[in-house]
Chain A
Amino acid sequence: MARSKSARQQQLEELALAPVEWLDERSGVVQGSKWFLFRKVPRDVSWAQTLGSATLTAFIVQLVTGVVLAMYYKPDPAAAYDSILAITNDITWGWLVRGMHRWGASVFIILLFFHMGRVFIYGAYKYPRELNWLVGVIILLLALAEGFTGYLLPWDQTAYWATVVGININATAPIAGPFIADFLKGGAEIGGETLARFYSLHMLLIPGGLIALITLHMYLVTRLGVASPPWSKEAAGRERVEVETRKRGLVEPRRRKSVSRKDQT
């Protein structure tokens, strides 16, 4: 039997928990975390369902490395290229941060497609998860927009001319096309204005939207639950086969009572 706590111990515990309780009473943050962490998921959830959180991890890598890059990068046509050279070759671990940001983008996009493929194969977009599919598709679009705007920032020849053609592609859209192209360019030619715009979109607007939508996406997943693999024998929500009670005659011999594996061992 556990010893009863001394008065002093109880006092200390209350003191330590007081700030947490204060916070929870006013925000519900502890309740919310419990709701998120200790919710039940179907027992057959396994590796295939880790693609979503893997995608989130890739996004967090992009956020962290992006913040570090922003400390050294200069969004000005006269200085951008030199700052990229400095980040890659001179600054301590700069190559790693830029390399992780550059390749993390590819990994992020690949994982988005894999995650979407998994959801499609599992039919997990069906009732009541349709809204989350829509949110996911918009996240994919914003991720591609991040790829497009980020590609210009190193300000080298590939970046520049790929963006020229990319903006021209936008301009072919009916009605809105020329306006979008003019907005992206910010002038007659692709130059300083364009770079500043792409930098702002890439750093503020699109990531802000992504963070908001990913939060919504995760809220909906938590609220609606993760779907079991459709072929699983123990899938949550499966239909139970009614037990046969009718006696069978000679024409339809009764199945021999099989010994289940569990009983054998």
Chain B
Amino acid sequence: MSTKEQRDDFTRYKRDVKREGKPFFPYAVFHDTVMSLFVVAVIIGLAALWFFTSGEEAGDAGILGPRYQSEADPAAIQFVPRPDWYFFFLFYLLRIFKWPESVILGTIGIPTIALILLLVVPFIDRRRERRLLRRPVAMVASVLVIASLGILTYKGATAKEGAAGAEDAIPEWIVDGNLVENAEVVLSTDPDAAALGADPGDAETLIEDGAELLVQAGCLNCHVYRNVGAQNLGAPDLTEEGSRERGLEWQIGHLKDPPAFSGGSLMPSFATLGDDQLLRLAVFLESSRGN
């Protein structure tokens, strides 16, 4: 529609408001005040519900979650990275992109496109019509956006976390995956094995310790190993991690500085575990070749 028609519309709007409108104070202010008091009451209510149903101990959750978790500790990697609920939709979006090369779509690509579309809404939709039923594209778009935000938030909120009972599954992993035999092969063929101080004779202990570490260091808070664990942030399944034969050196380097070895990786550094434990974890991962 032309600029002139738009201007005429707005002139008519201003004239109508002047003639038939009501003063902002006290009429609209009354509605606003009632609504604002309601908002403050809801906030106080939430604060009270949160506080009085939770305990003083760290992690003692009430209806609305705990008051706090234990103190931040960069060395204790036993954690579940979880943002505040209004970031769940972004957080769950990451799980949809499982291949390392496509992670950037979930982290930057789609959110940026969505933001640009949101910004230019008034410049795309320049029609004069304001009734939703006569704006089919706007209606479909808003239903789709609300539905996808709702679903992503819900999925993020109910996503399976942690690795309860993973410890009990370790003997099964070792038998089913032929891990000890695989480790013997890895340790005798890997060119760096000797330099790292690993001997094929230690295969069994290295595998057992590596499996313990996988559970205790919090790997399964993001990764899955033989159907155990959570898929936070689209972290890859580790069941067949060794099949790519990247070597022990690569595995250790990657654990120390993930983005340097795998571009776009969101994984934090596990360097605090120390070289000895990293070797055990690397042997375990390199020996994991599925069935």
Q: Using a CB–CB distance below 8 Å, which chain A residues touch chain B?
A: 36-43, 45-47, 49-51, 53-54, 56-58, 61, 77, 81, 84-85, 88-89, 95-96, 98-100, 102-107, 109-111, 117, 120-130, 133-134, 137, 141, 144, 147-148, 151, 154-162, 164-166, 168-169, 171-174, 177, 189-191, 225-228, 230-231, 234-239
B221 CB, nearest partner CB in chain A, Å = 9
Q: Considering the chains assembled together, what is the distance between the CA atoms of A36 and B24 in angstroms?
A: 8
20 A-B contact pairs sorted by A residue (CB < 8 Å): A38-B24, A41-B22, A41-B28, A42-B20, A50-B31, A50-B36, A61-B39, A61-B40, A77-B72, A88-B68, A105-B84, A123-B131, A123-B135, A127-B6, A151-B84, A156-B71, A162-B81, A172-B264, A237-B9, A237-B13
Contact check, B118 vs A137: say whether CB atoms are below 8 A apart: yes
Given A127-B126, A157-B72, A172-B107: A234 touches B20 (CB 8 Å cut-off): yes
Contact check, B39 vs A41: say whether CB atoms are below 8 A apart: no
A68 CB, nearest partner CB in chain B, Å = 13
Contact check, A133 vs B142: say whether CB atoms are below 8 A apart: no
Q: Closest residue of chain B to A154, judged by CB?
A: B68
Contact check, B85 vs A106: say whether CB atoms are below 8 A apart: yes
B40 CB, nearest partner CB in chain A, Å = 6
Query: Which chain A residues lie closer than 8 Å to B82 at the CB level?
Result: 158, 162
Contact check, A85 vs B12: say whether CB atoms are below 8 A apart: no
Asked whether any CB of chain A lies closer than 8 Å to the CB of B43, the reply is yes
A-B pairs with lowest CB-CB distance, top 8: A99-B47, A237-B13, A123-B130, A40-B21, A160-B72, A230-B130, A103-B46, A130-B122
The residue from B21, B24, B43, B79 contacting A104, defined by CB atoms under 8 A apart: B43
A136 CB, nearest partner CB in chain B, Å = 10
Given A107-B39, A165-B233: A147 touches B84 (CB 8 Å cut-off): yes
Q: Closest residue of chain B to A112, judged by CB?
A: B86
Mostly, the B contact residues are helix
Q: Considering the chains assembled together, what is the distance between the CA atoms of A190 and B86 in angstroms?
A: 23
Q: Considering the chains assembled together, what is the distance between the CA atoms of A117 and B142 in angstroms?
A: 8
Asked whether any CB of chain A lies closer than 8 Å to the CB of B201, the reply is no
Query: Which chain B residues lie closer than 8 Å to A148 at the CB level?
Result: 83, 87
Q: Considering the chains assembled together, what is the distance between the CA atoms of A121 and B116 in angstroms?
A: 19
Q: Closest residue of chain B to A168, judged by CB?
A: B266
Interface range on chain B: under 10, 10 to 19, 20 to 34, or 35 or more?
35 or more
Q: Considering the chains assembled together, what is the distance between the CA atoms of A162 and B84 in angstroms?
A: 9
Q: Considering the chains assembled together, what is the distance between the CA atoms of A79 and B271 in angstroms?
A: 25
Q: Using a CB–CB distance below 8 Å, which chain B residues touch chain A?
A: 6, 9-10, 12-14, 16-18, 20-25, 27-29, 31-32, 34-36, 38-40, 42-44, 46-48, 50-51, 56, 58, 64, 67-74, 76, 79-87, 94, 103-104, 107-108, 115, 118-119, 121-123, 125-132, 135, 138, 142, 146, 233, 259, 264-268
A240 CB, nearest partner CB in chain B, Å = 9
Given A58-B39, A137-B119, A177-B108: A161 touches B80 (CB 8 Å cut-off): yes
Contact check, A102 vs B9: say whether CB atoms are below 8 A apart: no
Q: Considering the chains assembled together, what is the distance between the CA atoms of A61 and B47 in angstroms?
A: 12
Given A99-B48, A177-B108: A37 touches B10 (CB 8 Å cut-off): no
Query: Which chain B residues lie closer than 8 Å to A147 at the CB level?
Result: 84, 86-87
Given A190-B74, A225-B14: A134 touches B28 (CB 8 Å cut-off): no
Q: Closest residue of chain A to B133, judged by CB?
A: A231
Given A137-B119, A158-B80: A103 touches B71 (CB 8 Å cut-off): no
A130 CB, nearest partner CB in chain B, Å = 4
Query: Which chain A residues lie closer than 8 Å to B128 at the CB level?
Result: 126-127
Q: Considering the chains assembled together, what is the distance between the CA atoms of A124 and B81 in angstroms?
A: 39
Q: A89-B67, A238-B16 provided; 16 other pairs, C-beta below 8 A?
A: A40-B22, A40-B23, A49-B31, A50-B36, A85-B68, A99-B48, A103-B47, A107-B43, A126-B130, A127-B9, A129-B122, A130-B123, A133-B122, A148-B83, A230-B131, A236-B17
Query: Which chain B residues lie closer than 8 Å to A168 at the CB level?
Result: 259, 265-268
Q: Closest residue of chain A to B44, judged by CB?
A: A100
Contact check, A158 vs B69: say whether CB atoms are below 8 A apart: yes
B26 CB, nearest partner CB in chain A, Å = 9
Max chain A C-beta neighbours (<10 A), residue from B10, B31, B38, B86: B86
Q: Considering the chains assembled together, what is the distance between the CA atoms of A145 and B83 in angstroms?
A: 12
Contact check, A57 vs B39: say whether CB atoms are below 8 A apart: yes
Q: Considering the chains assembled together, what is the distance between the CA atoms of A226 and B29 in angstroms?
A: 13
Query: Which chain B residues lie closer than 8 Å to A109 at the CB level?
Result: 86
Q: Closest residue of chain A to B37, judged by CB?
A: A57
The residue from A41, A106, A120 contacting B21, defined by CB atoms under 8 A apart: A41
Contact check, A169 vs B69: say whether CB atoms are below 8 A apart: no
A244 CB, nearest partner CB in chain B, Å = 21
Q: Closest residue of chain A to B56, judged by CB?
A: A89
Query: Which chain A residues lie closer than 8 Å to B34 at the CB level?
Result: 50
Q: Considering the chains assembled together, what is the distance between the CA atoms of A166 and B82 in angstroms?
A: 10
Query: Which chain B residues lie closer than 8 Å to A231 at the CB level?
Result: 131
A140 CB, nearest partner CB in chain B, Å = 8
Q: Closest residue of chain B to A89, judged by CB?
A: B56
Contact check, B31 vs A47: say whether CB atoms are below 8 A apart: yes
A177 CB, nearest partner CB in chain B, Å = 7
Q: Considering the chains assembled together, what is the distance between the CA atoms of A120 and B57 in angstroms?
A: 44
